[in-house]
Structure 1
């Protein structure tokens, strides 16, 4: 079997040549030193005013790929980037094809289709021009410490093969002044990767997965550097085919925890390991948590909730 990252790129099954994947390390001139954060987003407009400013300050470039948003995500991203004073570090691209939702819908999709999660991710990252990349979500907000840490790393990782794991904690927004921070689950996924043929996306049973060589260096950042925004009045699981499957899949421990916390909070119950926070008057709760509360709270945080530690 020919490795995915070999050759010059990937052609999609549908024949949309404008959206063929061309590996950036094969382009004339190659990749430059630095790190790029890549956001693949759909309807994330409300979060971008919190997500983009610290990220734009922390990395060399931010690439945001808008996938058929209908809430003005693209326009909001451009506005926030310009307002932050870092429009020169920001690129907006559009991906016009509907992408399969994680789970059964993804499993049924061919890996080389423009509707495949794996193909979509490879297309997004094919536009990176730096030697390192951060896989970032449109709802992930750096804390004050997180911004400094990522900025320090971004100039160091440009010539390495290290994979970086970034802990993040769900911040469930009840209103502009009240939120619930889940410190009961340490979610430490791989979010930083070198750009090269050994680090591309392949199809896994329920989602995409980034391939890695057998031997590589990996390290994790400390807790408290990033939160992931969840809106209690929104549909936080719309990108999944069947959220009920979280209860049966051994691979979905994190999603089971999110499903449990989200539904419990909407029913008026605060689960073990979740902290309820109120922002001071005149301050948004996201700013309060990321700029004041989290940087001051003692480490380590609450350990994993025993009720969700199995499977």
Structure 2
């Protein structure tokens, strides 16, 4: 079987030639040094004012691909980039096709369908012009320490082959000043990749997966550098075909944890490892957690939690 990244590009089975994929490493002059954060977003307007500014400061480029948002995501993304004064690092693209939800819908799609997660991801990353990429989500916010770490890494790995794992912690939001931070699961996924034929997206049973050579240098960033926003008044699992399966699934420990934390908080139950936080008057809870609380928290996390007395987390 020929690896999907070995040719000059990919065509889609529907024949939408305007959305065929051309691998950027074949372009004249090749890829330039640096790192690009790639965000695939749909209805992320509330999160992007927190997500984009630290990313724009930390990376050489930020690419946002909007997939049919109806909440003003495109406008918020553009306005936020302009407000930071770094709009020259920002690119906004549109992907007009409905993308299958993770799980059964994804499994039913042809890998080279414009509706496939794998094809969608490859199309997004084919627009990168730097040597390195960060696979980012539209709800992931860097802390002040995380921003400095990513800015440092973005030039260090700019011409190297290495995979970087980024730990992140779910921040469940009740309103502008109240939330719960999940420190009970040390979730570390691969988020930093070189741009080359060895690192492309292929179809896996439940979602897309980025191919990785058997021998590649990998390292993980420390805890406390990134939070993932979860809105308790929203549908945080809409991108999954059957989210209820998380309650018993043994395949996805992270999603199972998110499912239990989210639904427990909705019922007024705080699970072990989840810390309730309130920001000072006039300070948004996201800014409080990412600018003040997490950067000051000792590692490994030792948290004074009124529900659990002294909680010492070594996840």
Secondary structure, aligned partner of 2:176: coil
Q: What CA distance in whole angstroms lies between the structure 1 residues aligned with 2:162 and 2:103?
A: 29
1:161 is matched with 161
2:28 is matched with 28
Secondary structure, aligned partner of 1:97: coil
Instruction: String of CA shifts for 1:149-176, please: whole Å, max 9, x gaps.
Output: 0000000101111000000000000110
Q: What CA distance in whole angstroms lies between the structure 2 residues aligned with 1:52 and 1:303?
A: 30
Q: What CA distance in whole angstroms lies between the structure 2 residues aligned with 1:82 and 1:57?
A: 12
Instruction: Report if the CA contact (8 A) 1:118-1:203 is conserved.
Output: yes
1:121 is matched with 121
1:3 is matched with 3
Instruction: String of CA shifts for 1:44-69, please: whole Å, max 9, x gaps.
Output: 00000000001100000000000000
Matched ranges for 1:98-247 at <5 A: 98-247=98-247
1:52 is matched with 52
1:43 is matched with 43
RMSD between superposed Cα atoms in Å = 0.7
1:79: how far off? Answer: 0.2
1:256: how far off? Answer: 0.5
1:245: how far off? Answer: 1.6
Secondary structure, aligned partner of 1:158: coil
Which 10-residue stretch deviates more, 287-296 or 239-248? 239-248
Q: What CA distance in whole angstroms lies between the structure 2 residues aligned with 1:194 and 1:147?
A: 19
Decide whether aligned partners of structure 1 residues 270 and 248 sit closer, same or farther in structure 2, where only a CA change above 3 A counts. closer
Secondary structure, aligned partner of 1:254: helix
Instruction: String of CA shifts for 1:204-251, please: whole Å, max 9, x gaps.
Output: 000000001110000000000000000000000000000112234322
Instruction: Report if the CA contact (8 A) 2:247-2:259 is conserved.
Output: no
Q: What CA distance in whole angstroms lies between the structure 1 residues aligned with 2:50 and 2:6?
A: 38
1:118: how far off? Answer: 0.2
Q: What CA distance in whole angstroms lies between the structure 2 residues aligned with 1:253 and 1:107?
A: 20
Q: What CA distance in whole angstroms lies between the structure 1 residues aligned with 2:239 and 2:280?
A: 33
1:291 is matched with 291
Instruction: Report if the CA contact (8 A) 1:183-1:303 is conserved.
Output: no
Q: What CA distance in whole angstroms lies between the structure 2 residues aligned with 1:76 and 1:214?
A: 40
Instruction: Report if the CA contact (8 A) 1:185-1:303 is conserved.
Output: no
Q: What CA distance in whole angstroms lies between the structure 2 residues aligned with 1:71 and 1:241?
A: 22
Runs of 4+ in 1 over 6 A off after TM superposition: none
Matched ranges for 1:274-285 at <5 A: 274-285=274-285
2:314 is matched with 303
Q: What CA distance in whole angstroms lies between the structure 2 residues aligned with 1:244 and 1:235?
A: 12
Instruction: String of CA shifts for 1:273-297, please: whole Å, max 9, x gaps.
Output: 0000000000000000000000001
Instruction: Report if the CA contact (8 A) 2:167-2:188 is conserved.
Output: yes
Between the two proteins, the alignment pairs up a number of residues equal to 304
Structure 2 unpaired stretches of 5+: 302-312
1:13: how far off? Answer: 0.3
Instruction: Calculate the TM-score normalised by the size of structure 2.
Output: 0.96
Q: What CA distance in whole angstroms lies between the structure 2 residues aligned with 1:80 and 1:228?
A: 19
Instruction: Report if the CA contact (8 A) 2:248-2:256 is conserved.
Output: no
Q: What CA distance in whole angstroms lies between the structure 2 residues aligned with 1:249 and 1:213?
A: 28
Instruction: Calculate the TM-score normalised by the size of structure 1.
Output: 0.97
Structure 1 unpaired stretches of 5+: 305-311
